[in-house]
Structure 1
Amino acid sequence: MHLNLFQPIAVGPFTLPHRVAMAPLTRSRAGQPGDVPTALNIEYYRQRAGAALIVTEATQISRQGQGYAWTPGIYSQDQVEGWREVADAVHDAGGVIFMQLWHVGRVSHPSFQPGGALPVAPSALPVPGKTFIVDENGQGVWGEIPVPQELTLEGIRAIVEDYRRAARNAMRAGMDGIEIHAGNGYLIDRFINSQSNQRQDTYGGHYRNRARLLFEVVQAVVDEVGANRVGVRLTPMGRFMGMGDDTPEETFGHIVEGLNKYELAYLHLVEPMMVGTVKDEQVDPRWDLIIRDLRNAWRGILILAGGYDARSAEEALANGRADLIAFGRPFIANPDLPRRLREGLPLNTPDPASFFGGDHRGYTDYPAHG
């Protein structure tokens, strides 16, 4: 019996029927040219509308914000119209859908950038990782990331406005709300973490300065859509793409304290146990204490993601660790995941080879349970 996982809950203006959310999942299948959602994407999200809340794949706010091949945007009219069909399909199936907005920052490549420019970052530091690009034959491959250029103050202000415009476009597309991606080593997270932000101006140094961009983006998005339709995703203690903060308790404690003032729809935290985020030996032993401290400090709805199954999700809800649980890979392979968890049905196994790029195979052809 899942006494907590299938209880209704109020999130923003919505009453959700249960606590099984769909995590944002980059799948690299936007239509080309233009990185526009297509009928294939519409079907993918429609199949998963039984989630209590769908958070879309990360969606770039501008061309500069793109870092992976074939990911969708929300800055052109064609993209708005494509996403409107996705939102309509989810709503017709009874679902609720928030769009996750991102700017990847330095985790990019000149092939994505306007004019072939270098990607941008708070500081011009090397990136320990690769990104998913298109080779000369039109195939998706993992490519080296160059040292980025440091953002100017004018460039930072322009990005805040790009978030504002993207939020407006997402609502024009019929989305129910916005999730601001401020984790996983992308632009906002790079400003937050001391080891990736070596600026000496008002956006660097003390954690109050390093959190400034996040709060400016939150304010811009809240102004557009209303606080009760906005969530924020953070990855405290994350190590992806060379991340790290010298005082995470103080840094993320300050962020949660600041976010409380907005009365947002939710806060979404990614735990390092999430498969593929970090290796076991890289998990900071302070993580569990920090997540508990942030849980206690946060006055709103908390979503957790991090390799959960039905048992561990129920446990987290029962002991108050979270209010909803976001499932990632299980939703890739099981479009009817909430039903399977409720009824104790076996789960399909996801195929990692088809996670990024491709066609309907490994995307819309996973069967629902008979």
Structure 2
Amino acid sequence: MKNALFQTIQLGKLTLKNRIVMPPMTRSRASQPGNVANQMMAEYYAQRASAGLIIAEGTQISPMGQGYAWTPGIYSSAQIAGWKKVTDAVHAKGGTIFAQLWHVGRVTHPDNIGGMQPISSSAMKAENVKVFIDNGTDEAGFVDVVEPREMTKTDIKHVVAEYRQAALNAIEAGFDGIELHAANGYLINQFIDSEANNRTDEYGGCIENRLRFMSEVIAAMADAIGADRIGVRLAPFTSLNGTVDATPVASYTSAAAVLNNHKVAYIHIAEVDWDDAPETPVAFKLSVRAVYHGVIIYAGRYNDEKGAKAIKSGVMDMVGFGRPFIANPDLPNRIKNNYPLATHNPDTLFGGAEAGLIDYPEYTAS
């Protein structure tokens, strides 16, 4: 059964060595000032290069796209050079790495975006959502988000162009491809989900309209770097950051069909993963498989057995293991050999330095 995880797979023009994905996880350790990826991050990702695919942490496409303190960007020449250190280190270990391109929309605070008012699909504040800002200490200060302003048509065109440039920047930085972050309540998701979008123009109302912004972003990026180097992350059933859809099965089956038309390389679906969360309906997984013909990745509460079984069932092609990769840099080897898994320290997930990032050892049989 476990062998299903260790088969090669074609992703666009790339041949991946296994079906184990390291999904994007924010770690908030970019160098300041400038939010620049650094040598410490290069070591972190290189340690985990045995994954079939690494999707690097969410990376803002512009200063306005930043939601939290100390997250990396990919819009300045220094940021591109910083990420080049990361991609070179991963490639030297035989790994494959995509950049996750991120605009948070309303999930931010003016302190993180140069005093500006955040932008979103609509002038609706995300309720009960906090973000962290740099409060001048090593500890992140948590603050409530504020009400955004509704994006104009000019804003939409401008952000589409920023995504296109960020995709070009990612390829310049040596990434093998990019993942569009359209999940977890951030900007693209704020257009898709009905309860976060009350627009009355061609970007609001019916699901076809609510998917228009995502579709325009993908078209622009595909024109720049090719659809075969693009993946898209979706989160149909989560309510993260206050973003909810009234008809998620219908909406996200439609989203998968749009992505199939664009011929993107993969869809990456984030499942709800808190302890007593409901399972993603099998009927939904089958409907996505029916309308989308590329590689499908799921990430959530998977262990090796559950992931391998899902791949064998045909509803997905690759499986993401998030938190296990934090404390187990050699996760594929541990899975293959039934070695025990280490557990991560939750206190060192965000911010700080090497501790909790690059000091987790590989397993050595005593």
Same fold judged by TM-score > 0.5?
A: yes
- Which residue in 1 is equivalent to 2:239? 239
- 246-255 or 174-183, which moves further after superposition? 246-255
Q: Tell me the distance in 2 between the aligned counterparts of 1:183 and 1:363.
A: 24
Q: Tell me the distance in 2 between the aligned counterparts of 1:50 and 1:321.
A: 24
Q: Secondary structure at the match of 2:4?
A: coil
- Which residue in 2 is equivalent to 1:327? 321
Q: Tell me the distance in 1 between the aligned counterparts of 2:215 and 2:161.
A: 13
Q: CA RMSD, aligned part only?
A: 1.3
**Cα-to-partner distance string for 1:13-37 (whole Å, 9 max, x where unaligned):** 1111111110001000000110001
Alignment of 1:120-139 (within 5 A): 120-128=119-127, 129-137=129-137, 139=139
Q: Tell me the distance in 2 between the aligned counterparts of 1:348 and 1:249.
A: 36
- Which residue in 2 is equivalent to 1:110? 110
Q: Which amino acid aligns with 1:122?
A: S
Q: Tell me the distance in 2 between the aligned counterparts of 1:139 and 1:238.
A: 28
Q: Secondary structure at the match of 1:58?
A: strand
**Cα-to-partner distance string for 1:318-357 (whole Å, 9 max, x where unaligned):** 1112100011100011000000001110011011111111
Q: Tell me the distance in 1 between the aligned counterparts of 2:280 and 2:295.
A: 23
Compute the TM-score of the two structures, normalised by the length of structure 2.
0.96
Kindly indicate whether the alpha-carbon contact (under 8 Å) linking 1:2 and 1:342 is maintained by their aligned counterparts in 2.
Answer: yes
Q: Tell me the distance in 1 between the aligned counterparts of 2:25 and 2:252.
A: 24
- Which residue in 2 is equivalent to 1:43? 43
Identity of matched residues, %: 46
C-alpha deviation, 1:250, in angstroms: 2.3
Residue-pair matches, total: 363
- Which residue in 2 is equivalent to 1:357? 351
Kindly indicate whether the alpha-carbon contact (under 8 Å) linking 1:67 and 1:104 is maintained by their aligned counterparts in 2.
Answer: yes
Q: Which amino acid aligns with 1:247?
A: T
Q: Tell me the distance in 1 between the aligned counterparts of 2:140 and 2:286.
A: 40
Kindly indicate whether the alpha-carbon contact (under 8 Å) linking 2:271 and 2:280 is maintained by their aligned counterparts in 1.
Answer: no
Kindly indicate whether the alpha-carbon contact (under 8 Å) linking 1:105 and 1:187 is maintained by their aligned counterparts in 2.
Answer: yes
The answer to whether 1:341 aligns with 2:335 is yes
Alignment of 1:170-249 (within 5 A): 170-249=170-249
- Which residue in 2 is equivalent to 1:306? 300
The answer to whether 1:167 aligns with 2:162 is no
The answer to whether 1:266 aligns with 2:266 is yes
- Which residue in 2 is equivalent to 1:280? 276
**Cα-to-partner distance string for 1:178-228 (whole Å, 9 max, x where unaligned):** 100001000000100000000111111111110001000101111111111
Q: Tell me the distance in 2 between the aligned counterparts of 1:237 and 1:36.
A: 33
C-alpha deviation, 1:83, in angstroms: 0.4
Kindly indicate whether the alpha-carbon contact (under 8 Å) linking 2:97 and 2:177 is maintained by their aligned counterparts in 1.
Answer: yes
Q: Which amino acid aligns with 1:37?
A: A
- 102-111 or 233-242, which moves further after superposition? 233-242
Q: Which runs of 5+ in 1 are unaligned?
A: none
Kindly indicate whether the alpha-carbon contact (under 8 Å) linking 1:235 and 1:269 is maintained by their aligned counterparts in 2.
Answer: yes
Kindly indicate whether the alpha-carbon contact (under 8 Å) linking 2:60 and 2:74 is maintained by their aligned counterparts in 1.
Answer: yes
**Cα-to-partner distance string for 1:29-52 (whole Å, 9 max, x where unaligned):** 000110001111111011011110
Residues 338 and 201 (structure 1), Cα distance of their counterparts in 2 relative to 1, 3 Å cut: same
Kindly indicate whether the alpha-carbon contact (under 8 Å) linking 2:138 and 2:352 is maintained by their aligned counterparts in 1.
Answer: no
- Which residue in 2 is equivalent to 1:290? 284
Q: Tell me the distance in 1 between the aligned counterparts of 2:58 and 2:51.
A: 17
Q: Which amino acid aligns with 2:44?
A: Y
Compute the TM-score of the two structures, normalised by the length of structure 1.
0.95
Q: Which amino acid aligns with 1:189?
A: N
Q: Which runs of 5+ in 2 are unaligned?
A: none
Q: Tell me the distance in 2 between the aligned counterparts of 1:286 and 1:327.
A: 16
